[in-house]
Amino acid sequence: MLENWFKIGEHGSTVQREILAGVTTFLTMAYIVFVNPDILSAAGMDKGAVFVATCVSAAIACLIMGLYANYPIALAPGLGLNAFFAFGVVGAMGHTWQVALGAVFLSGILFVVLSVLPVREWIINSIPHSLKMAVSAGIGLFIGVIALNISGISVQGKPAPLVTLGDVTALPAVLVGIGFVAIIALDRLRVPGAIVLGILGTTVLSLVFGGSSFHGVVGPAPSIDPTFLQLDIMGALNVALISVIIAFLFVDLFDTAGTLVGVGYRAGMLDEQGRLPRLKQALVTDSTATVAGALLGTSTVTSYIESAAGVRAGGRTGLTAVTVGILFLLALFLFPLAETIPRFATAPALLFVAVLMVRGLAELDWEDVTEYAPAVITAVIMPFTFSIANGIAFGFITYAAAKVLSGRISEAKPAVLILAVLFLLLYGFHWVG
């Protein structure tokens, strides 16, 4: 039955290898089970309900990806967009988390529409590579700022400077530093689950030195009622949230396209033209998962580049993703462990992911100022305005303006020019208002 469905033999794999690959992928991304509830709880959401929504949405997404698209790619709520959700949309902009969930839902619906229309490749190919890399790096910087704040390593100045060094001798800051370098070492040694081990190791040290209390490891899953179907779609149908919805949509689109191509390349799945077969099924899976996640009560669900770890372990079919989905369902019973983990213990993971994302700046064309200047603006605006949406908007506007004024408008695709004008109008409308 497995052979008939997943075509395991045709892909040069075995059932045992696919399951092992699934376990490997799960270990590399299981940190989101602990990090996502912690971040979204900062927006006022019930931590237990978000924990369940995280596990269930990831399980649904992985099962669909495996059974429908037959790819060894796992999905879960994305790190970065959850921080933007909690600290940007809810914290800085002042919207309720219900409205923010409504914005995620609408972005997911738009993604579904784009996934089934023949314009999906046109849109993906229209976005300049420099801006794609800049968005990834900017989100990394955004996550890094949050991690440093959670750990107490950086604090807000009173009244100046805007940001200054915190008490680096305090227990949380010391343990975060230890956890961060431990993750670096474990990752360099290619230890599966390096990030999870870093979080757990930081938690153990916290327990030893009295920085937190033990709540257990295994127990019944909490109720999802506090977040289930609590999204406010009508509240999200607001002009002020258009840029937020576009940000959710585009970051998910960038992440998914990049992950699919990157993992597909490593798995040898690309065709002679470098294209990924069954792209439509993969995009539909990702977009549907975002809609389901918003209904359950979590931020944008997206494809994880950590899936490459499973591919490295031999995963080639959807059975790998199905295995990950089953493991996410089993993780539902680890909520006592999630409660045991202090908030600052997730900071090493956030810092490490931030480092991984910022390295995308190395791929910029540093010989062309019309490419790297908009990219740097994109990446810098995100952490300094505490908004991924602002970073994307300023990036598109700067890119289009640079190309037009330097007489190189032909290098800017129509989609970029249209979005730049749209963002200008949105900011103009907000200023007039």
Where are the chain's structural domains?
2-432
Q: At what angle do helices 242-266 and 414-432 cross, to 10 degrees?
A: 150
For residue 136, give both structure tokens: 């990834």
Spatial CA neighbour of 298 closest among 196, 230, 218? 230
Sites in the chain below the pLDDT cut of 50: 431-433
Q: What is the pLDDT of residue 405?
A: 94
CA distance 38 to 217: 17
Q: What is the pLDDT of residue 116?
A: 86
Q: What is the pLDDT of residue 290?
A: 94
Q: What is the pLDDT of residue 181?
A: 96
CA distance 300 to 110: 13
Q: What is the pLDDT of residue 240?
A: 81
Q: What is the pLDDT of residue 433?
A: 37
Beta strands in 107-265 (DSSP E): 154-156, 163-165
For residue 312, give both structure tokens: 């490295």
Spatial CA neighbour of 426 closest among 394, 401, 404? 394
Q: What is the pLDDT of residue 273?
A: 64
